[in-house]
């Protein structure tokens, strides 16, 4: 039955979530409850098992002999009693039953074969006493109970009130329906001869069975004496046990076993109070989220985000990176920028150091440790949920804060690179202007402009033009003129570097101003940093969130199983 497998998984999952190892009795090792899978296998092999369960000296062996009409097992009123499994079965089932017994109780069984066609599907077992002083006898009986579809609970008039028998009956009843049980009260010939006394005893035994099994009405009890095989109750018992059962009837009995097993498992799961676990996990999640938002989010904002947004060193770096990209298209001006780069780095480093010293703010790791210490003290389940990450301890708390810091700085580097690429772009339409300002100035000011000026003035002075040009060329390559030209060009390119830096600075300031006012959009926006912090806070609460989700999923699985059982 698929529901049983589902319930077994639910039990395991409940234990994992609850930190418990408790299991229902019918799933524990050595359980005497019948196994529906084993019963199905037997039905496929064409037989079912009827077994006599009882204490010492209740007459099990005598009943087997009386039912078979011949002596197939020894009776005893002293010693260790029945020590082996005695199987009374049709010859056609010998191989299948022998394999089963050899697997479960090797070398501790005996088979008695018959050729009665009406009993070809029935295997009648006489088992060792369940209250034997020999532990091996008890183990044999419990093992065979897992294969038993129709257990015959047999007690004598001296022992019918025995508590041990009732305890074993309760255990088996967790996985089998009382409709498959047969209850026998033996040795009634030892009480008074009146019918009234017999009925009183039968009724008392039935009431005890009703209480033990929590039934709505007392079950039927066959009151017999194995020495009176012609009595009404004995004949009725013989008919109930040995009458041929159809395949449909056996399958229906197995279905009752499966349903009973499923209901017992479901009852165990209900006792674990999964809805209560969901409610507690939900409250714990809400409390954790509230504490984290109230105490950690503001500290993270003050210690990390605000210093990042107001860091002058960061602003200078963004300006320098953007300017470096822009100056790739500005020949010679980029030489000025490269020459000034060490100075710019020194200024930026000193500014950044001052910002770090003055913006430490609150200790986020200490605050984080305090939040989870409070949660741990309020609810011990925090220790199980965070078994691999004790955030209430100093080292894990510092590690968590370091992860946030690394994530923010990775985001900062990514966004700065993206912003620098965006602000460092140059218009292709202005490329001729840039070349004119840079390389054109290098040719114009020291060479072209003086030559043109000399040619224009030559008619006024009345000299020869070629002599004037030669004189000018000599003057151009002179040391004084070269120094004058170089100084002028340096000033020229430095002025353009200042203009470009000023323009880049304005673009950066405008971007950062927008960043401080708007949390939506792309680029270096406050919202990007806030999202990192929110994700980090969410990761801190992830174990609680995952536990709540798993409990809710478990509750849904339980509800689905309940609906399946109702519909079946």
pLDDT tens-digit series, residues 89-139: 999 999 999 999 999 999 899 999 998 888 899 999 988 888 766 778 888
Could you give phi then psi for residue 121, rounded to 5 degrees?
-95, -5
Residue 260: pLDDT over 80: yes
For residues 77 and 57, the answer to whether their CB atoms sit within 8 Å is yes
- Overall average pLDDT of the 191-207 stretch: 82
Tally Cβ neighbours within 10 Å of residue 351: 17
Delimit the domains of the chain by residue range: 24-271, 276-552
Q: What is the CATH number of domain 24-271?
A: 3.40.50.300
Helix (H, G, I), strand (E, B) or coil at 152: strand
Please give the pLDDT value at position 192: 63
pLDDT value at 317 more than 60: yes
pLDDT (0 to 100) of residue 361: 37
What pLDDT score was predicted for residue 355? 46
Q: Which of 42, 29, 32, 33 is nearest to 4 (CA)?
A: 33
444: pLDDT strictly greater than 90: no
DSSP label of 444:
I
How do residues 424-435 score in pLDDT, each as one tens digit? Answer: 777 778 888 888
pLDDT at 47: 94
CB 33 within 8 A of CB 25: yes
Name the pLDDT band for 207 (thresholds 50, 70, 90): very high
pLDDT greater than 80 at residue 331: yes
% of the chain with per-residue pLDDT over 70: 87
**Inter-residue contact 48 to 42 (CB < 8 Å):** yes
**Lowest mean pLDDT segment, chosen from 175-179, 194-198, 454-458, 560-564:** 454-458
The model's pTM is 0.71
pLDDT digits (tens, 9 = 90+) for 505-522: 888 777 766 655 544 444
Q: In what order do the strands lie in the sheet with 48-53?
A: 109-114, 85-90, 122-126, 48-53, 150-156, 182-186, 221-223
The whole-number average pLDDT for the span 382-410 is 88
More confident residue, 92 or 479: 92
Instruction: Pick the range with the lowest mean pLDDT from 464-473, 500-509, 531-540.
Output: 464-473
Residue 544's pLDDT is 93
CB distance 150 to 253 below 8 Å: yes
Range in 14-18, 158-162, 328-332, 388-392 with the lowest mean pLDDT: 158-162
Q: What is the pLDDT of residue 359?
A: 40
pLDDT at 526: 54
Average pLDDT, the chain: 83
- The more confident residue out of 216 and 311 is 216
End-to-end Cα spacing for the chain: 11
Q: What's residue 513's pLDDT?
A: 67
More confident position, 353 or 523 = 353
Q: In the prediction, which pLDDT does 524 show? A: 44
| Residue 178 CB burial class (10 angstroms; 0-12, 13-18, ≥19) | middle
Tokens of 419: 């912003």
């Amino acid at each position: 039955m698929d529901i049983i497998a589902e319930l077994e998984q639910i039990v395991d999952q409940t234990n994992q979530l609850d930190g418990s190892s408790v299991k229902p009795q019918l799933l524990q090792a050595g359980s005497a409850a019948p196994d529906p899978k084993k019963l199905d296998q037997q039905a496929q092999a064409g037989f079912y098992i009827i077994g006599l369960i009882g204490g010492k000296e209740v007459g099990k062996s005598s009943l087997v002999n009386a039912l078979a009409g011949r002596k197939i097992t020894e009776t005893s009123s002293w010693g260790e009693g029945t020590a082996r499994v005695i199987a009374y079965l049709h010859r056609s089932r010998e191989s299948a039953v022998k394999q089963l017994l050899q697997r479960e109780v090797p070398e501790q069984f005996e088979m008695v074969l018959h050729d009665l066609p009406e009993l070809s599907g029935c295997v009648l077992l006489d088992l060792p006493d369940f209250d034997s002083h020999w532990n091996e006898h008890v183990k044999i009986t419990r093992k065979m109970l897992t294969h038993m579809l129709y257990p015959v609970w047999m007690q004598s008039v001296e022992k019918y009130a025995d508590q041990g028998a009732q305890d074993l009956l309760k255990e088996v009843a967790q996985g089998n329906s009382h409709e498959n049980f047969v209850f026998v009260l033996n040795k009634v010939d030892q009480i008074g001869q009146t019918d009234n006394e017999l009925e009183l005893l039968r009724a008392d035994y039935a009431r005890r069975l009703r209480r033990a099994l929590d039934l709505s009405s007392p079950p039927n009890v066959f009151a017999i004496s194995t020495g009176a095989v012609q009595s009404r109750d004995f004949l009725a018992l013989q008919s109930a046990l040995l009458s041929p059962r159809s395949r449909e009837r056996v399958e229906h009995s197995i279905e009752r076993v499966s349903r009973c097993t499923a209901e017992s498992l479901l009852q165990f799961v209900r006792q674990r109070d999964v809805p209560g676990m969901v409610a507690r996990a939900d409250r714990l999640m809400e409390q954790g989220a509230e504490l984290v938002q109230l105490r950690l989010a503001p500290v993270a904002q003050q210690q990390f985000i605000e210093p990042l947004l107001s860091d002058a060193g960061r602003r200078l770096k963004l300006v320098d990176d953007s300017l470096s990209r822009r100056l790739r298209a500005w020949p010679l001006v980029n030489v000025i920028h490269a020459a000034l780069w060490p100075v710019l780095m020194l200024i930026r480093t000193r500014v950044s150091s001052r910002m770090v010293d003055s913006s430490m703010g609150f200790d986020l790791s200490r605050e984080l440790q305090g939040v989870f210490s409070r949660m741990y003290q309020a609810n011990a389940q925090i220790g199980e949920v965070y078994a691999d990450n004790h955030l209430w301890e100093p080292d894990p708390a510092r590690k968590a804060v370091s992860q946030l810091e690394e994530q923010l700085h990775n985001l900062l580097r990514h966004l700065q690179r993206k912003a620098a690429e965006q602000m460092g772009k140059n218009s292709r339409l202005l490329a001729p202007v840039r070349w004119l300002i840079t390389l054109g100035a290098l040719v114009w000011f020291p060479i072209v402009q003086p030559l043109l000026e000399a040619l224009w003035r030559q008619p006024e002075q009345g000299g020869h033009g070629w002599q004037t040009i030669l004189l000018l060329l000599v003057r151009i390559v002179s040391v004084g003129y070269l120094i004058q030209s170089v100084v002028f060009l340096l000033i020229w390119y430095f002025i353009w570097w200042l203009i470009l830096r000023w323009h880049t600075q304005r673009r950066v300031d405008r971007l950062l101003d927008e960043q401080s006012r708007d949390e939506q959009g792309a680029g270096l926006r406050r919202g990007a940093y806030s999202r990192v912090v929110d994700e980090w806070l969410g990761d801190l609460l992830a174990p609680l969130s995952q536990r709540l989700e798993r409990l809710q999923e478990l509750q849904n699985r339980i509800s689905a199983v309940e609906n399946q059982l109702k519909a079946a």
